[in-house]
Chain A
């Protein structure tokens, strides 16, 4: 299990929430089994395809097809449609079983969201047929995209989902289906997905208690993780390796009518807050949970955050003002945190 990063005040504020739930888990996808890794397949950029874990110093061929299939062969399962199959290149794996292919993807709008499927054949003296088909990478070439969190308004139960829109062609290219969703409406800051750096995995809060990992290329749900009631705003670390879910404080005051309460205004105006002091080790912070975007998810509770932020609170909610207008999510520095820092 990977080490869980400590969370400090700064990251909590950046997440605009309080008691943090850091989602991350597990080691990366690397394993002894040979596999194909990829960078984000942006139009106008180079797509890097890395064969990892192949036999050392052996021939590696990279195959491509614009469509997929699944055909058992003596070499393994061919996941590319045969009719349009092309060989993109041949390399020799190095001493550690790595081979890399660089593919220049043209900045051609016609290619946006087009399917691109890759699979490698590796010479393997230990295999019965002398060669092995590795697992394929099933991608779409990424142009400008839009992700729309949606929900039905009238049927009961209310259904939710995430539309993946190819903005270049103005067409929906995939959809992640959340099924019934039963909590309050979204504000326009909520329900937006985050992605791993290579776009292999996306994550989105389907509801305030359901974190969904999905395939950003084809919309398949890869895993669903129940979480404690949380903000539906996610964020990732700079490397795009971890996704952070922010759990609502358990000591929150009663929430009335879906409204939320907080008040930075109780801070003394125009008075700087000094750097947040470190609490003594083990001081009552909420447990946090962490998971890694690149490996799907076995959530586990992790070490507490490194300052007293767990005793701060923020609530995210959609509420109505007395005039009937919508207001936005808010966040706060509150009670004990203020006492610590001011």
Chain B
């Protein structure tokens, strides 16, 4: 398993990612320092033997991605980014790919970047940008549901107060039909857990 940590009181943004191994004999850890970056999200993709890690830079409202091998502790490499601005708020593995939720920069004052959804194929490093975007409020959480009945991506979208006035919804993309729908919720969904069929 992997554990990330950071030092929030430090302007240097020092953070690290530890590979922790647990066995009957105890545990061991291999720590990699994320020099001058923060590593807020990471997600293993066993199908391609990769760990994808998002990294944030100090004073820059954007982040990058890097990948490293899961099965061995080798050097990490930057994953290619097809755009300049990315604020990776959540990632979820999908076979050999990864859905990446960019929550944008909607926070007042001055936030102008809408949230977007991307998928990177980790075998070809090809990026696909989902056409929908979420202005005024970025999605809060991303869940992927794949089982015998569904193959869908869920995004939790908060309410926006008047005068803009957007109701809280869970935005759903059906990957089999290519259709979208919204599930209206009573209040703003903040975190989600999908439970597919076993």
Chain A residues in contact with chain B, CB under 8 A?
9-10, 13-14, 16, 40, 42-45, 107, 109, 112, 142-154, 159-161, 163, 165, 167-168, 170-172, 175, 185-193, 195, 256, 259-265, 267-276, 319, 321-328, 330-333
For B187, give its contact among A150, A256, A322 (CB under 8 Å).
A150
For A189, give its contact among B6, B161, B191 (CB under 8 Å).
B191
The CA-CA distance from A190 to B191 in the complex, in Å, is 7
The CA-CA distance from A271 to B7 in the complex, in Å, is 20
Cross-chain contact A10 with B31 (CB below 8 angstroms): no
Chain B residues in contact with chain A, CB under 8 A?
1, 3-9, 11, 13-16, 18, 20, 22, 25-34, 38, 40-41, 56, 58-61, 63, 87, 89-90, 103, 105, 107, 140-143, 145, 147-150, 152, 154, 156, 158-159, 161, 168, 170, 172, 181, 183, 185-198
A272 to chain B, nearest CB (A): 4
A-B contact pairs, 25 of them (CB 8 A): A9-B27, A10-B26, A13-B20, A107-B148, A107-B149, A144-B195, A145-B195, A147-B192, A148-B170, A150-B190, A151-B188, A154-B161, A167-B152, A192-B191, A259-B8, A262-B5, A264-B29, A265-B7, A269-B32, A270-B32, A275-B25, A326-B89, A327-B6, A331-B5, A332-B5
Cross-chain contact A45 with B5 (CB below 8 angstroms): no
- Enumerate chain B residues within 8 angstroms of A260, measured Cβ to Cβ: 8
Do A13 and B9 contact each other (CB < 8 Å), given the known contacts A150-B189, A151-B187? Answer: no
The CA-CA distance from A275 to B26 in the complex, in Å, is 4
The CA-CA distance from A272 to B28 in the complex, in Å, is 5
B186 to chain A, nearest CB (A): 7
Do A13 and B1 contact each other (CB < 8 Å), given the known contacts A144-B197, A187-B191, A333-B29? Answer: yes
For B9, give its contact among A146, A168, A259, A271 (CB under 8 Å).
A259
- Enumerate chain A residues within 8 angstroms of B14, measured Cβ to Cβ: 263, 265
- Enumerate chain A residues within 8 angstroms of B59, measured Cβ to Cβ: 322-323
The CA-CA distance from A168 to B151 in the complex, in Å, is 10
The CA-CA distance from A172 to B170 in the complex, in Å, is 11
The CA-CA distance from A58 to B137 in the complex, in Å, is 62
Number of A-B residue pairs, CB cutoff 8 Å, is 231
A141 to chain B, nearest CB (A): 11
The CA-CA distance from A259 to B9 in the complex, in Å, is 8
7 additional A-B pairs beyond A148-B170, A188-B192, A269-B33, beta carbons within 8 Å, are: A147-B192, A163-B185, A167-B145, A168-B149, A190-B190, A265-B5, A270-B32
